[in-house]
Structures are given as structure tokens and as C-alpha cells.
Structure 1
Amino acid sequence: MLIAAAGACSLLFSVGTAAADPSEEQGIDSELSQAIDDYIAAESELNAAEERQDEIKDEIVRTKEDIERLTVQVNEFAVAAYLNGGIPSAVSVLATGDPASAVDGLTTVSYLGDQSGQHLQDLVDAKEDLAAEEVALEDEVIAAENALADMKAARDAAARAVAAEGGGTSAGPTGSDAPAPEPAPRNTDGSFPYESCSVDDPTTGGCITPRMDHALTQAILVGFDRYTKCYRSAEDGGEHPRGRACDFSAAVGGFHGYAVGGDKAYGDALAGWFVEYGSELGVKYVIWFNMIWEPALGGWREYPGCGGTSPSCDHTDHVHVSMV
């Protein structure tokens, strides 16, 4: 698959080299960018906290089952010892009441030397584990509640930032017929790792992040193989100099102005594919046809661009994709 992708890249980026980059493209403002970052970070924290909650709940169930099993074993031994009169320490165990109640009060050291000593120690350890697990669960519930509050705050901040640009809700593409991509690698807690601009950009000779390279490769493999440019110099600002963004032309061979007909349909499908699989790929936001999609808002919003004066600035000739 990697060989096929490399071949596709070589073919794709050897054509249309005379096409102008979307140099007038305007990135999102810093307030919105930070709000999106905050939302994604809070979402990762929430997912991690909920996953840890599930793991701890499973541990609590197993520990309670161990406690029930060990309690039966210890009590059975204590009763047998008492009836046979063979182990005086068993009498001290039972002196506190019935066997089930006596387990919680076991402190006689000599009992640990009896045949059931290991069962008793296991029971004491299991009860200590249960107490620790219940405290850990409470901590994760609090962590999840805090992460959820942070998500809501970031979502509201993003909404305010978009509203300040004059962008209301809009109907944009949310899927395509293209196959699902291979998900991008994540940390063990479900978050995306930090990545630098460390991979050669096959579209410019600059650099992109491994996650951007993965998304670009996956897009090509499922059929979105038209002209694309990713890295741009630092003076352009935004995500391109960080290697975290690519511009996917709607037209074949280069950026050729306002997309219509088949080119518009291609751009719609591409934008919809990145929205549909944004979580799997690690998409931060998508801009297409004076609209922006990003996870904090949960849908498309109007994005004014340059008011129809430039296909590059209005993103009517290309789909802009930025990654976390």
C-alpha cells in the first residue's frame, strides 16, 4: 500500500507545477485556532477519563468477586477449625460473632500461620484494592466532569470567534462515497501525539507532520488525487508553515478559480470525506466554499473569506485541511 501511495504521489505532484498557490488564502484567527485546540485537548481528556472509568469499574467488579470467593474460603476454614477444635486461633476468630462478620475484625497474627493464612491475606489485600479503586473512580468522575466543562467553554469560545467573523450555521458536505481511511496513530490514552514538521512534503519539497502525511496518503489512496500543495513559508502564517495543512485543488492540474460542475462535486466529496473521518485522521478544521467545519462547533459555519473577491481567499477553488 505504501508503494502504491508513493507512486500516486509521484504522479500527482509532477503535473500542474505552473499553477499558482493559493497565496491569498487567509487562515483562521488566533482566537478561533486556540479555541479549537482547547476543545480538542478537553475532548481527549474526557475520552481518556471515561476510558479509565470503564477500566476501573471492571476492576471493581473483579475485586468484589474475589472478595466474595475469599470470604467463603476463609469462613469455611474457620468453621471447620472451630468444629474440630484443632486450631485455637480459629476460636478467637469466631469470638467476634458469626464467621461472615468475623472476617472484618481479623487481627490475630497467629491466624496468618494457619492453613488459611494466605487466603486471609489475599482477602485483606483485595479489600484494600477495592477501597483504592473506588477512590480512583471518584477521581476519574471528577476529571471527566472538569474535562466536559472545559469542552463546553472551548466550544462557546469557538462559537463566539466565528460569530465575530459574521459566520452563522451553514449546510456543508458531511460525507462521501469514498472508502474509510486507516486511522492515524494515537497515544495509549486516545489523544494524538505532538508532531513536528519532520516528514518530506511530496507536494513542495518542504516538510509536513507525520499525521498530515498520513491524511494526504489516505486521501490519495481512496481516490482524491488531484493537484495538492501543503507546505508554505513562514511569512504566509497559519498552519502551512507548521506542516499541519494542505490545500487540495478542486480542479485537475492546479488551482484554476471558482469551482463549478464536476470540480465543485469533487471538492464537496473531499471536504465531506475529511469531515466524516475527522476523528480518525485527526482533522482540526476544514475550509471549503466560504464555509468552515471544526469539531468544537459540530457542524459547518459560514466563513466570509474575502467576500467573493478571490477564489483562493474564499476557498472556492480548493479544500483547506488542517490537522491537530
Structure 2
Amino acid sequence: MPPVAPVRRRAARMAALIAATLALGVAIAPGTAAGAAPPAGQLAAAPGQDEEGGTPALRAQLEAASKGYLDAKSALDRSVKRQQQLGAELKTTEAELNVRSGKVGEIAGVAYRTGRLGAMSALLNSGSPDGFMDRAAALDAVAANEDRVLRELLATRDEANRTRAALDGEIREQRKQVTVMAKRKEQAERALTVANNNATRAADVSNRGTSTATATPARRNSDGSWPSESCSVNDPTPATGCITPRTLHALNQAKAAGFTRYVSCHRNGGSGEHPKGRACDFAAQKGGFGGDATGGDKTYGNNLAAYFIRNSDRLAVLYVIWYRQIWLPSSGWKSYSGAGGDPSSDHTNHVHLSVY
């Protein structure tokens, strides 16, 4: 049994150490070093804040606005393409109409100059039974030809009128979609204005990257719209869970473009697209999510954000958040200050990507 005095001295020193630690406000957890950074892949949020900053209402508004904008843009693109097809069809139809109108005009001109071939006179002027039959056949042929030419003219004219009406419909459709896009743009910007405490700040141009890499387009429907996708494939990042095939495509395309630092996608709980498997966080630092990115790490984040923006239409990007800024397909870069003041919710240590 050890002497009592040394045991008491060790206990006293331990008590003094604990008291000093508590006075400094440092909490000791079993197996955790005081002041250790969050492990790679774990976003650290300020107390009471969501990891992504802002509010669930803001993210719901941004998601709805961007999805509505992309839907309207797809519909507009389809309408413009259809208008071009109809314009080519109308040009061809009008050319046929001119030809057929000319043929009918020729028939009318001949009839005016020589008089219509009367059935009785044509038959009575025949000198033999064979001549009678030949004239009867010729009369039928002339009548059938004139009838066919007239029918073709009327059918071509009807087709031209239908094509013109379809063109007018596409123009109305385009005006409607442009109006929808403007409303969705206003919706997103109004939500950001409220989140930014009604402050209007210019986007920080120092966050702009120079990436020129081109992504392989994600799969679309035959009409150009984005297919509905569920959280159906395994998340290949250390964040276990599921992501959508389109999210996986964007992740793989970013890696193929050289952006291979730490990534975390699926997240249980919270709001936004992470729990739906439609968002990923790309760390700017090599070691994972740390403090504010600076120097080469910030350049990496700038270029990654630029890559997603350059390929937004190919990857179905809803929005990108980086360094207190958010990029929207409707509005470009805007201030994103509804965060908690820490590197995670301010997005100064990672680039956030949300896809349709």
C-alpha cells in the first residue's frame, strides 16, 4: 500500500489542474484533446445553427425558386426549338403553296382563254366510236387532274394556317415562361434580401475562379427536362447514406476535372438538399473542413465554384454557396450572410453544391 502523503500530493495536484482547466473554460471529454479541430468530414456549426447556415425557410425558398427557374428555362428552350422547327416547316409549306397556286392559276388561265372543255361538245366532235372513247377518257383525266390540283392547294393552305397558329402558340408559351423565370428570380432575391437583414451588398469579385473545364452533361428527358430522381445510390463519400444519380454524376465530373479533395454529401437531419441526397460539401483544404480557406486553398475553392457555375446547365445546378456568397441560375452571385459567423455556415471552408 503506497504511503498516504504522496497519494494526497498527487490528488492535490490533480485537483489544482482540474480547477485551472475549468477556470479557462476548457471542457475535457474522455479521449478528446482540448481544442482539437473537428475530424475531417464533420462540419462544425455554431450553437443553435444549422451546419449550412441560414434557415430552413430560406433554403426551401431557394430550392423552390431555382427549381422553378430551371423548369421554366427548360420549357422555354423546348418552345424556342419547336418554334424553329415550325418556322422551317412553314417556309417549306409556303413554297409548296406558291407552286400549287401557280398550277391552279394556269388551269384558270387556259379555261379563260379557250373556254372549259364541255363534255357534250367533246364527245359529239368525235368521228368514230374509238374517238368517242378516247375523248371520254381524256375528259375524265382532265377533270381528275384539275380536282387533284385544287385539293392539294386547299390542303397546303390549311397546313400553312395550322403552322402559323402553332407558331403563335409557341410565342405565347415563351412569353409565359419568361414571366415565370422573372418571378422565380424575384422570389430567390427577395428571400436572400430578408435573410441578409435587408442589406444589399455587392458580390465579392475576389471569390471568382478561372476553371474552364467542361463537364459531360447529365441525362435529361427526351424533351430536355430533368427527370425526377430519388436518393437511390450509395453515397461514395465518407458520409454514409444515399444520393441521387445526378448528384453522383456531378461528384464524379468534379473529380474528373481535378477537384479531388475531401467531399461529404449525404447528411441525416437538418434542412436543404443534403438529407435528400442532392447536395455535397467540397472541402477547400486538403485535410478536410477546417478554418477559413486562404491562399492556395481559397484559390482551389474559387476554381471549384467556377467549375460548377460554368457547367450549371450540364449538371442541373440549383445553387452554389462559397465564401459568404451564393450563386443562383436566375441571378448570379449574391451575398449570403444569413449564417452563424463560423467557417462552416459561412461556407469559407467548403463549396456547397445543390443539384436539381
Q: What TM-score do you get using the length of structure 1 for normalisation?
A: 0.79
What is the letter of the counterpart of residue 334 of structure 2? R
Who is 2:74 aligned against?
44
CA distance, structure 1, for counterparts of residue 150 and residue 300 of structure 2: 69
Give the alignment of 1:1-324 within 5 angstroms.
Answer: 19-22=40-43, 24-26=51-53, 28-77=58-107, 79=109, 87-88=117-118, 114-166=144-196, 168-172=201-205, 173-203=207-237, 204-233=239-268, 235-297=269-331, 299-308=332-341, 310-324=342-356
Distance of aligned partners of 1:202 and 1:256 in 2 relative to their CA distance in 1, 3 Å threshold: same
Q: What amino acid maps onto 2:65 in structure 1?
A: A
Question: Residues of 2 paired with 1:128 and 1:260: CA distance?
Answer: 67
From the superposition, tell whether residues 303 and 111 of structure 1 become closer, same or farther in structure 2 (CA, over 3 Å): farther
Residue 84 of structure 1 deviates from its aligned partner by 7.2
Give the alignment's Cα RMSD to 1 decimal: 2.6
Extract unaligned runs of 5+ from structure 1: 1-16, 90-109
Asked if structure 2 preserves the Cα contact closer than 8 Å seen for 1:112 and 1:120, the reply is: no
User: Is the CA contact (8 Å cut-off) linking 1:175 and 1:275 kept in structure 2?
Assistant: no
Query: Could you say what secondary structure the match of 1:322 adopts?
Result: strand
Paired with 1:33 and 1:317, the residues of 2 have a C-alpha distance of 22
Instruction: Name the CA distance, whole Å, in 1 between partners of 2:149 and 2:233.
Output: 57
Q: Is the 8 A contact 2:212 2:310 kept in 1?
A: no
> 1:58/1:76 Cα in 2 relative to 1: closer, same or farther (>3 Å)?
same
Contact 2:273–2:279 (CA under 8 A) maintained in structure 1? yes
Tell me the residue number matched to 2:137. none
TM-score when normalising by structure 2: 0.73
The total of aligned residue pairs comes to 285
Structure 1 position 85, deviation (Å): 6.7
CA distance in 2, matches of 1:254, 1:304: 23
Q: Which moved more, 1:69-78 or 1:195-204?
A: 69-78
- d(CA) in 1 for partners of 2:209 and 2:312? 10
Using a 3 Å threshold, how does the CA distance of structure 1 residues 311 and 69 change in structure 2: closer, same or farther?
Answer: same
Q: Distance in 2 between matches of 1:145 and 1:20?
A: 45
Does the Cα contact within 8 Å between 1:178 and 1:223 map onto a contact in 2? Answer: no
The one-letter code matched in structure 2 to 1:260 is: T
For residue 175 of structure 1, report the CA deviation from its aligned partner.
4.7
Equivalent-residue separation in structure 1 for 2:225 and 2:202 (angstroms): 28
The whole-number CA distance in structure 2 between the counterparts of 1:224 and 1:292 is: 20
Percentage of identical aligned residues: 39
The letter for the 1-side match of 2:83 is: Q
2-structure distance, mates of 1:111, 1:231:
77
Q: Could you tell me whether the CA contact under 8 Å between 2:211 and 2:306 is conserved in 1?
A: no
Which structure's CA Rg is the greater one? 2
Q: Which residue of 2 aligns with 1:4?
A: none
Segments of structure 2 that go 5 or more residues without pairing to the other structure are 1-37, 45-50, 120-139
The superposition leaves residues 4-56 of structure 1 with CA deviations (integer Å, 9 ceiling, x where unpaired) of xxxxxxxxxxxxx9513226223643223222222222222222222222221
